[in-house]
């Protein structure tokens, strides 16, 4: 009777240990199926056994846990590699887009500079010059023409004054000449009368 009871107890303990081991294995696998890689390493480390040999400490890890952890690490690396390739592609696409935008920006800037230069410039004798230079040349020409006009007006007025003076002098000279001619004619007539009187006196004296 005692043997049967002892046998029953041993069988019960073995069954309990077997069931506990299966549940522990399932829990370990389930735990390795989720969480971060770091937490999975921590789980494996906690579930590992240890022993000492020749004064050194060793950790004993179950093969199934190690294989599962390795597969999880490889899957994670694969996912990260895929994300890295995707990010590289995205970055390359963005760099291409940025390069195209920079090119368009440079073209737009050049076009804007050309339009601004054309807007701020004018054609002078077939040469494109800035508005400031054009205005400077234009006002210089206007000032030069105005100066020439004033100069010629001054010369004309001076010539007109000289002409009027010359006419006045000529008129005075003509008047003086007429007076001189008249006086000379009067002297000539007077001398002629005197001569005639002398001739008459000479004739009477005979």
State which residues form the domain around 143.
128-195
pLDDT band (50, 70, 90) for residue 1: low
The answer to whether residues 31 and 76 belong to one domain is yes
Which residues lie closer than 8 Å to 17 by C-beta, 6 or more apart? Answer: none
The answer to whether residues 46 and 97 belong to one domain is yes
The answer to whether residues 14 and 106 belong to one domain is yes
- Measured distance CA(38)–CA(111) in Å, rounded: 57
In a domain, 29, yes or no: yes
In a domain, 138, yes or no: yes
What pTM value is reported for the model?
0.37
Total of domains in the chain: 2
Residue 126: the pLDDT is 65
- Measured distance CA(61)–CA(100) in Å, rounded: 56
The answer to whether residues 93 and 48 belong to one domain is yes
Backbone dihedral region of 125: left (phi > 0), alpha (psi from -120 to 50 degrees) or beta?
A: left
> Rounded mean pLDDT of the chain?
77
Give pLDDT tens digits for 150-202: 999 998 888 888 888 888 888 888 888 888 888 888 888 888 888 888 888 87
The answer to whether residues 13 and 99 belong to one domain is yes
The answer to whether residues 187 and 102 belong to one domain is no
Which residues lie closer than 8 Å to 65 by C-beta, 6 or more apart? Answer: 28, 29, 32, 44, 47
The answer to whether residues 69 and 97 belong to one domain is yes
In a domain, 204, yes or no: no
Residue 119 has pLDDT above 70, yes or no: no
Q: Which residue has the higher pLDDT, 21 or 174?
A: 174
The answer to whether residues 106 and 134 belong to one domain is no
What percentage of the chain has pLDDT greater than the value 70? 74
Backbone dihedral region of 96: left (phi > 0), alpha (psi from -120 to 50 degrees) or beta?
A: alpha
Instruction: Find the helix or strand (DSSP H, E) in which 203 lies.
Output: helix 131-205
């Amino acid at each position: 009777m005692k043997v049967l009871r002892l046998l029953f107890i041993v069988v019960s303990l073995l069954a309990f240990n077997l069931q506990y081991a299966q549940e522990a294995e399932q829990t370990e696998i389930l735990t390795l199926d989720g969480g971060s890689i770091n937490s999975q390493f921590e789980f494996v480390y906690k579930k590992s056994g240890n022993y000492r040999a020749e004064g050194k400490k060793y950790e004993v890890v179950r093969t199934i846990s190690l294989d599962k952890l390795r597969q999880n690490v490889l899957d994670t690396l694969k996912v990260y590699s895929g994300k890295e390739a995707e990010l590289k592609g995205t970055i390359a696409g963005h760099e291409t887009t940025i390069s195209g935008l920079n090119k368009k920006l440079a073209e737009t800037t050049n076009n804007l500079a050309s339009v601004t230069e054309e807007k701020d410039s004018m054609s002078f004798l077939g040469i494109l010059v800035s508005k400031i230079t054009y205005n400077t040349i234009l006002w210089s020409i206007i000032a030069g023409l105005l100066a020439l006009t004033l100069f010629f007006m001054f010369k004309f007025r001076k010539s007109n004054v000289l002409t009027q003076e010359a006419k006045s002098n000529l008129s005075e000279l003509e008047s003086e000449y007429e007076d001189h001619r008249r006086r000379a004619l009067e002297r000539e007539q007077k001398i002629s009368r005197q001569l005639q009187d002398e001739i008459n006196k000479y004739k009477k004296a005979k």
